[in-house]
Structure 1
Amino acid sequence: MRSVRFGVLVGVVCLATACAGGAVERPAVRGALDVSTRFPAPRRLVAVGDLHGDLEATRRVLRLAGAIDERDGWIGGDLVLVQTGDQLDRGDDEPEILDLFDRLAREAAAAGGAVHVLNGNHEFMNVKGDVRSVSPDGFADFLDKPVPGLAGAPPETVIAAVLARIKAFKPGGPQALRLATRNVVAVVGNTVFVHGGVLPQVAEYGVERLNQESREWLRGERPCPPDLLLGPDGPVWSRHYSKDTDEADCRLLAEALEKLGASRMVVGHTVQKDQVTSGCAERVWRIDVGLSRHYGGPSSALEIVGDQVRILRAP
């Protein structure tokens, strides 16, 4: 009963925090894009899928990638690490994961490597005040004083915790500003990385433009996200390339890749059974293996060295 009440309270607060409609989009200024979206091909790249608040699973897959040592320090040298979003929700270790990747990005840069973390649908859900997938501890982290067993706490305490988290993640809030340093889409060498998938209309719109406008929204500089970002065919929600792709899906993929000047796409978002999978003659790779405690999947990642793509699996 307590968990039901907790869920109801969270849902009520969510309903009150939607983005106001009727906002007017600012016209695009094609010559003023200042967000880096494209990066040169590295010697070695490893891509990691959804982490969902599980620090131990995160550590395991980063060690599998050769990115960190037993003390969580960067040992990847010039490795480029890409994490395709959904660090938030479902698990209790979100702050630790966010902090870890921020630190690793600095350490990697100092060693000649790089860490690119993308925003997924769960990051944007939190920014929009949709916190239905947050664990009780994920709310308690934002209270001034820790409250053990928040799911059984008085309604006023639960509501205060939910509102505190929503405030932190709302556009312009401290956590939204942190997410504003991240892209939605990154192109590294000839590979496109995105949480859900880039369809042709998004490629035509411009992934550089989408990255910039998304960051502007996260910083509180525009009233609502760009229209193409959060729809069912948007880059963080699309599942066109994530399941059993048919001929029509592969045509969409080929068109999007041609517009982007790329050879393959790497996506997360949709849990694959047992291991990383591919589709459309290996032009799309799906790296969400459900490795967090919530799903119980294996530790697995994708390695790209030159033109060679290899699945990394835990022994």
Structure 2
Amino acid sequence: MNLRTLAPVWLALVCACAHGEPREVAPWQWEGVERIVAVGDLHGDYEQYMKVLRSAGLVNARGKWTGGETHLVQTGDVPDRGPDTRRIIDHLADLKEQAERKGGRVHTLIGNHEAMNSYGDVRYVHPGEFEAFRGRDSKRLQQLQWEHYLSRLKQVRPEAFLTMDLDKHRAEWERKVPLGWVEHRLAWAPEGEYGQWVLSNPVIVRVNDTLFLHGGIGPAYCHLGIEEINRRAHAELRAYDPETRGVIDDEHGPLWYRGLATENEATFGPVLAQILERYGASRIVVGHTPTGGVVWPRFNGRVVVNDTGIAAYYGGHDAYLEIRPDGVFAGYGELKLPLPRGEVERLDYLRAVIELDPENGELKKLLSETQSPATGDEVQAGAETDEATGEPAVADHADAVSPGICQ
């Protein structure tokens, strides 16, 4: 046996073990990843999406992957509110292939807006999203849809149909069902191109010791494992039942839950500890709840709220999260700031972010609230009215201190 020949091989193996080769240890669970970049809600804004990827060093000026072995995690809500959803998804699908050829990965998660588009809730679809599907056959498809609509109308409202001004009604209908609407709905159906894309994505992933999902995980669903949450979500999307609340549409479920972004940090801490232990994680990264432009750590860094408002609709903020062996960082354009853990450091960090955007009133409000927190429920600066219920987004306290809550 030639020990001199074996030595380089042995050294290479030692080096690989020391650094930990990236590997998928279970479905949607990765270990040994050296660099993770997390990007929050995009809401149909391609230019802002590309700007953030370039700032993070993941793509070049032509949009091609330059991230090497980096794992990019996009935490959902690509569609709605902006016109470029189709363009972003097509680019993400292409980028995923490019990254894998270089040893990296692109994880695109299901957010509540992906689910809504899949099961037919188009309240937040931007007109430009329908326009992106408009083609030479759109007029014919729209006419067929109109005829189908009239047929249904005759059945359910026969008396009203007889006295209806059809020309006026048609004009109103076309505002809701413009050219491209039919193609959009076919594409987002479970068997359609973008419906299939949604079904290829998970709701939740773990990369190293960080759990990523769109809304959050709370007492109502933390008894389920990663594989089971993803399995249920896919099953519900394939055969959606509006009468039964589940993973994809329950306000306490992982696509909608805001508790990690809004709960009182002092009182909810014990529950969070159980959730982290359940998933073998040291932190959870979520989107869904807008922060007004800051990558916002909560619970001493054990939660990171990362819906920074990238899209112009939410302010056009260039911000992302980066996790490396030497620390956790927030990227703002070309500047990177270490993500703080303690309360004093968090205030200093927020002041530094405000210096980058001194006219940002939402961040000034967040600073004021963080310096003088109210008792009881905390509501994150920039938090939306909950789209599932129409009520203010305040967290659920059910069984907040019960032991074994995630069993």
Shifted more, 121-130 versus 160-169: the winner is: 160-169
Q: Tell me, yes or no, if structure 1 residue 303 matches structure 2 residue 294.
A: no
Q: Residue in 1 aligned with 2:226? A: 207
CA offsets per residue over residues 259-308 of structure 1, 9 Å max, x none?
11111000000110231101011100011111101111420101100261
Q: How many residues align?
A: 275
CA RMSD in angstroms comes to 2.2
TM-score normalized with structure 1 length:
0.81
> Which of 113, 122, 125 in structure 2 is aligned with 1:131?
122
Letter in 1 for 2:107: H
Contact 1:45–1:79 (CA under 8 A) maintained in structure 2: yes
Letter in 2 for 1:54: D
Q: Residue in 2 aligned with 1:103? A: 94
Q: Residue in 2 aligned with 1:93? A: 84
Q: The residue matched to 2:61 in structure 1 has which SS?
A: coil
Letter in 1 for 2:113: H
Please give the alpha-carbon distance, in whole angstroms, between the structure 2 residues aligned to 1:281 and 1:91: 34
Q: CA deviation at 1:155?
A: 4.1
Q: Residue in 1 aligned with 2:360? A: none
Contact 1:57–1:299 (CA under 8 A) maintained in structure 2: yes
Q: Residue in 1 aligned with 2:268? A: 249
Q: The residue matched to 1:197 in structure 2 has which SS?
A: coil
CA offsets per residue over residues 186-243 of structure 1, 9 Å max, x none?
000110000010124423122211212322344x3x4448723321111110110113
Q: Tell which has more relative contact order, 1 or 2 (C-alpha 8 A, sep 6+).
A: 1
TM-score normalized with structure 2 length:
0.64
Contact 1:228–1:234 (CA under 8 A) maintained in structure 2: yes
Residue ranges of structure 1 left out of the alignment (5+ in a row): 1-34, 148-152
Letter in 2 for 1:258: E
Q: The residue matched to 1:303 in structure 2 has which SS?
A: strand
Alignment of 1:25-104 (within 5 A): 36-104=27-95
Q: Which of the two has greater helix per residue? A: 2
Q: Name the larger-Rg structure.
A: 2
Please give the alpha-carbon distance, in whole angstroms, between the structure 2 residues aligned to 1:307 and 1:196: 27
Q: Residue in 1 aligned with 2:3? A: none
Please give the alpha-carbon distance, in whole angstroms, between the structure 2 residues aligned to 1:170 and 1:250: 40
CA offsets per residue over residues 130-160 of structure 1, 9 Å max, x none?
111111111122333479xxxxx94454425
Q: Residue in 2 aligned with 1:229? A: 248
Letter in 1 for 2:261: S
**Runs of 4+ that moved beyond 6 A:** none
Q: Residue in 2 aligned with 1:277? A: 296
Q: CA deviation at 1:244?
A: 5.8
Contact 1:210–1:226 (CA under 8 A) maintained in structure 2: no
Contact 1:45–1:304 (CA under 8 A) maintained in structure 2: yes
Residue ranges of structure 2 left out of the alignment (5+ in a row): 1-25, 140-169, 335-407
